[in-house]
Structure 1
């Protein structure tokens, strides 16, 4: 796949409909095995579609991909491509899905309308932002001496029903209430959530938590900043203000092999 896809969701997480141009359409089975293995193939005849730009978030950074539809701008009677999963294989973003009706497909460099599942996008954005809020809350508690000074941000998952943030170092279970209180305080402050593109040097020096795995592109390192409290390198989608997260609930704190795992969920406020 040598067609570069512009990831519009990286700069505007509230763009839910978009016109784009098809770059390629081919059966999933025609791709190399290692690329096919990235996808859970949907039932029917799965295809891989690429376009010049996309609003579909590609799975990664602990956040699942968007789903939705892609339809032709030229004919309301044209086929509908149902997007089941999206992955990035540089420089392209691959949309896997099926056509309806079966056997139909887009022809050539067709103009299309992309439409994501808005409810799913909003939920994923709430969960992802909430994960960073928990990270900031714990970092604040470390600075205040309420948690051990060796606590360091680790990996995270922002999947509905399975969301967690990990930290190197041990967080005692009786600190759950302290973490919840600080998270509640941050959300109640309704801080702005902003996206920036920083140099790698600035990201490493200014971000609250920096994993060695982060990487930038021609725009720089994408960073999410929450008020003036802190920031993280991040490729995910986010809410614009913290109250949009709803109620962020700390489900539990578990410790194993020097790692603390804080599980959480978001609820409607």
Structure 2
């Protein structure tokens, strides 16, 4: 299962919320190698057996890059485990390695009569992402890049009291815990200036483009370069570009333009050991 390769359709079509594919594998979570099982948290409902499902392609974003995984459903067309359509509720999605299988953890309704790994292989699968969750994650991820871009532009211009030598650090785009980090010290008094710059960028309703660049192009054009990522010969780098003003290597999902963000609110700035963490959230209207 783990050595299969899954086509991440969401890399090319981030606004695609329904997709038809086939079933590649299905097995109980307990059958996975001991090294792979810790990637998942078993569902809290202990009355159902957690299964891992794979497909040749998927629209479900796998957790990574600071973005949570998608949730939703897969419907296995008849003749499913009981001779009727079976619904698989997708609760967690993980990628085994950058070029490997994408594993979907969830539970079946109705449950298979027996935990047979080969049961139903090749069946048609109708995937459906939970749209409100995907949209929120996409807004938060794009908003993180907008906050980072605002800091970058202010820093390079020497505005809002930001030092010119700031550099991008890690980020998280989880609801209620979203932040971007910079190497360097951002003064607390810069919060208002960062908020103003973010508001300006959003008001311009800049387009958000997904590009696939060579490693050399991404290294030269992206803010922060490739951030230490290794790119093999002939490999492409997936990049998100914000209105031509700044680009970042990124595997997440995004909105199509900045008006879809609503309002991006800069919540606060914390500094520790030479790192500045700027927290943010998105709100409607």
Q: Relative to structure 2, which stretch is displaced further, 91-100 or 66-75? A: 66-75
Contact 1:152–1:169 (CA<8 Å) still a contact in 2? yes
Which residue does 2:33 correspond to in 1? Answer: 32
Distance in 1 between the 2:16 and 2:231 partners?
Answer: 22
Query: Could you tell me which of 65, 86, 91 is aligned with 2:93?
Result: 86
Residue matched to 2:3: 2
Query: Counterpart in 2 of 1:100?
Result: 109
Q: Which secondary structure state, in structure 1, belongs to the residue aligned with residue 125 of structure 2? A: strand
For residue 138 of structure 2, the aligned residue among 125, 130, 135 is 125
* Residue 258 of structure 1, aligned match among 265, 271, 274: 274
Instruction: State the Cα deviation string for residues 80-130 of structure 1 (Å, max 9, x = none).
Output: 100000001131000011101233586121111000000000000000000
- Given the alignment of the two structures, is residue 66 of structure 1 paired with residue 38 of structure 2, yes or no? no
TM score, norm. by length of structure 1:
0.96
C-alpha distance in 1, partners of 2:167/2:108? 46
Distance apart, 1:210 and its partner CA: 3.1
Which residue of the partner structure matches residue 51 of structure 1? 55
Distance 1:216 1:65, change over 3 A: farther
- TM-score with structure 2 length normalisation? 0.91
Q: Is the 1:58–1:64 contact (alpha carbons within 8 Å) kept by the matching residues of 2?
A: yes
Measure the CA separation in 1 of the matches of 2:135 and 2:156. Answer: 32
Q: How much does 1:213 deviate?
A: 4.1
User: Would you say how many aligned residue pairs link Structure 1 and Structure 2?
Assistant: 269
| Residue 3 of structure 1, CA deviation | 1.6
Structure 1 runs of 4+ off > 6 angstroms? none
Give the superposed CA RMSD: 1.6
What runs of 5+ residues in structure 2 fail to find an aligned partner?
A: none
Q: Does 1:239 align with 2:240?
A: no
Q: In the TM superposition, what are the counterparts of 1:165-184 in structure 2 within 5 Å? A: 165-184=180-199
Q: Aligned pair in 2 of structure 1 residues 244, 75: CA closer, same or farther (>3 Å)?
A: farther
Q: Which residue of 2 aligns with 1:223?
A: 239
The change in CA–CA distance for 1:213 and 1:67 in structure 2 (over 3 A counts) is: farther
**Secondary structure of the equivalent of 1:262?**
strand
Kept in 1, the 8 Å contact 2:73–2:88? The answer is yes
Residues 125 and 237, structure 1, Cα contact 8 Å, conserved in 2: yes
Q: Structure 1: where are the runs of 5+ without partners?
A: none
